[in-house]
Amino acid sequence: MLKSKVEKLNMSLLYVEDDFETNRQLTELFEMKISKVYSAKDGAEALEIFNNNKIDFIISDFNMPKMNGNQLCQEVKKINPQIPFVLLTAFHDTDLLIDSIEVDVDKFLKKPISSQKLSELLHELYEKVEVKYELEVSQVCLQEAEHIVKLSYWQVNTHTKEITFSQEAKELFHQPLERDKKVTYKDLLEMVVAADKEMFLNFFEKDIFVCDVAENIVAIKQDEELLYIRLRSKKWESNVCNKSQIIGVFQDVTSYEIEKKALQEKMKFDPVLHTLSKRFLLEEMEKMMSISKRYETTLGVIFFDIDNFRDFNNEYGHVFADKILLELTELISKHVRLSDIFGRWGGDEFAIATLEGSKESTKRFANKINTIIAQHQWESDVTITLSVGLVFYEDEPNATELINKADFKMFEAKKGGKNQCKY
């Protein structure tokens, strides 16, 4: 049975050993496992090879003529501090170990080293080389991406709190284009719309320093057009300098925000009846509750449904029932005020919330709605009546609880004979 060909590790090794036989044997072993192997008989020759070739890592004996392993490591690290350097020695000496650490030897192994240990070492070094390679590729790609998309980034000096903005960031905010011109976040503030200025200041003065990840979206005016800019920062502990670092980006998300707002506007209304949907009905009621609490005004919630509406569905079908609902909402919409909110809770259930007027005037309005529907001449020549519940905001924790109270009053109206209002 033929043995399958062993795939070599795609990296380059410089092996340094002054003993001829040991050098020959290990070089042959390395060549079986690694795609490119350079060998040298002493430190001086190794340094020359290193300077003239792309070397991914070095394995060197310690005791060699002209230049020992520690001295070679010291010279190599001057040229490339990131190069992995493994030192082999036949003896174990504390002073030697200390010297090796001081010259930044990455690994210190005692000879003789087993083939299994050597194989593990090669794979460990290969993983480091791969990570380093991927990082280099990522950095090149990032630079290319920055050039293509003109990435607007900024970086914080965590010691001085000074923020440095990229050229693209300056251009986005119409700042001076001189590369040595200092720009502060306060210089950018003048383009931010009034409603977002406080949020913008909080982001740069507080959020980026206290949050590991901070993010917000602000609107800016540029050439009389409204742009939406995502502010995003990330804080991390650097492995290079062992200090906290903060970096951030500006991203133009105008098209996304416009699409999102259009979708929200579409979702805001019931697709059939064009009244507020349940979700936005609740949101608007929450706002009205805050206003009522702050200014001590009367907030009334009128909740109603059509009496025996299920019979219309069963007898005439859903198309006919939807026609009734549409006619009803058009009729009620003519009588609600601009300051009121009117929406569909679900099925044939509806709600009106009103902040204007006293409790007595709100009760009259609820009864008026009931009368208008009962006396209306429907196009379908049917009789429609409502069961109406009315409550006033007191200390309910949220809009859903307020609706539930109004729903209970509506249920009382049904139990009381329908076609009436309970409060």
Tens-digit pLDDT profile for residues 326-382: 999 999 999 998 889 999 998 899 999 999 789 999 999 999 999 999 999 988 788
* Whether pLDDT at 141 is above 70: no
E runs forming strands in 356-409: 386-392
- The amino acid that residue 163 corresponds to is I
What is residue 91's predicted lDDT score, i.e. its pLDDT?
Answer: 62
Residue 54's Cβ-count burial label (10 Å; 0-12, 13-18, 19+) is exposed
Q: Give a three-class secondary structure readout of 105-134.
A: CCEEEECCCCHHHHHHHHHHHHHHHHHHHH
The answer to whether 92 and 110 are in contact (CB under 8 A) is yes
CA distance 278 to 49: 75
Q: What is the mean pLDDT of residues 291-313?
A: 92
Q: What is the pLDDT of residue 135?
A: 53
Q: Are 16 and 72 in contact (CB under 8 A)?
A: yes
Instruction: Give the pLDDT confidence score for residue 394 in this predicted structure.
Output: 93
Task: Supply the pLDDT for residue 179.
Answer: 57
Pairwise CA distance, residues 102 & 89, whole Å:
17
Is 372 strand, coil or helix? Answer: helix
More confident residue, 151 or 68: 68
Flag whether pLDDT at 268 surpasses 60.
yes
Nearest C-alpha neighbor of 397 from the set 276, 282, 289, 264: 289
**Which pairing describes strands 107-110 and 85-89: parallel, antiparallel, or unpaired?**
parallel
Q: Is the pLDDT of residue 116 over 60?
A: yes
Least confident of 43-57, 88-102, 209-223: 88-102
Do 330 and 372 contact (CB within 8 A), yes or no? no
**Distances in Å between the alpha carbon of 28 and those of 25, 33, 149?**
5, 9, 49
Q: How far is CA 133 from the centre of its chain?
A: 27
What percentage of residues in the chain have a pLDDT greater than 70? 86
- Residues 45-52 have a mean pLDDT of 92
In single-letter form, the type of residue at position 55 comes to: I
CA distance 274 to 326: 9
Please check the confidence at residue 98 and state whether its pLDDT lies above 80. Answer: no
Whether 83 has a pLDDT exceeding 90, the answer reads no
Q: How far from 48 is each of 16, 76, 103, 130, 309, CA to CA, in Å?
A: 12, 10, 19, 25, 94
Superfamily covering domain 150-259: PAS domain (3.30.450.20)
Higher pLDDT, 412 or 379: 412
Over the stretch 195-250, which tens digit does the pLDDT of each residue have? 999 999 999 999 999 999 999 999 998 888 899 999 999 887 766 555 678 888 88
Task: Let me know: does 394 contact 369? Beta carbons within 8 Å.
Answer: no
Domain 269-422 class? alpha beta
| Phi, psi values for residue 383, rounded to 5° | -105, 125
For residue 149, pLDDT beyond 60 = no
Lowest mean pLDDT among 75-89, 226-240, 301-315: 226-240
Domain range list for the chain: 9-143, 150-259, 269-422
> What's the pLDDT score for residue 371?
95
CA-CA distance, 113 to 129, in Å (whole number)?
22
H helices, E strands: number in the chain: 15, 15
Q: What is the mean pLDDT of the chain?
A: 84
* Residue 418 confidence (pLDDT) above 90: yes
365's CB contacts (< 8 A; 6+ apart) are 300, 302, 354, 357
Task: Looking at 65-174, list the stretches that DSSP marks H as alpha helix, in order from N- to C-terminal side.
Answer: 69-79, 94-102, 115-149, 167-172
Beta bridge partners of 391: 301
Q: Which tokens is 52 given?
A: 């003239």
Given a contact cutoff of 8 angstroms between Cβ atoms, the answer to whether 370 and 418 are in contact is no
In angstroms, the Cα distances linking 145 to 137, 194, 245, 367 are 12, 33, 22, 65
Q: Which tops the pLDDT comparison, 355 or 134?
A: 355
Sign, CA torsion 368/370/371/377? positive
pLDDT at 147 over 70: no
Q: What is the pLDDT of residue 94?
A: 54
DSSP β-bridge partners for residue 149: none
Which backbone phi and psi does 341 adopt, to 5 degrees?
Answer: -120, 140
Q: How far apart, in whole angstroms, are the C-alpha atoms of residue 214 and residue 96?
A: 48
User: What does CATH list as the number for 9-143?
Assistant: 3.40.50.2300
Given this model, what pLDDT does residue 68 score? Answer: 87
CA R_g for the chain: 38
Question: CB–CB of 272/326 below 8 Å?
Answer: yes
Has residue 145 got a pLDDT over 60? no
Predicted TM-score (pTM) above 0.75? no
Beta bridge partners of 110: 89
Q: Residue range 23-49: average pLDDT?
A: 89
Six-digit token pair at 251? 């991203």
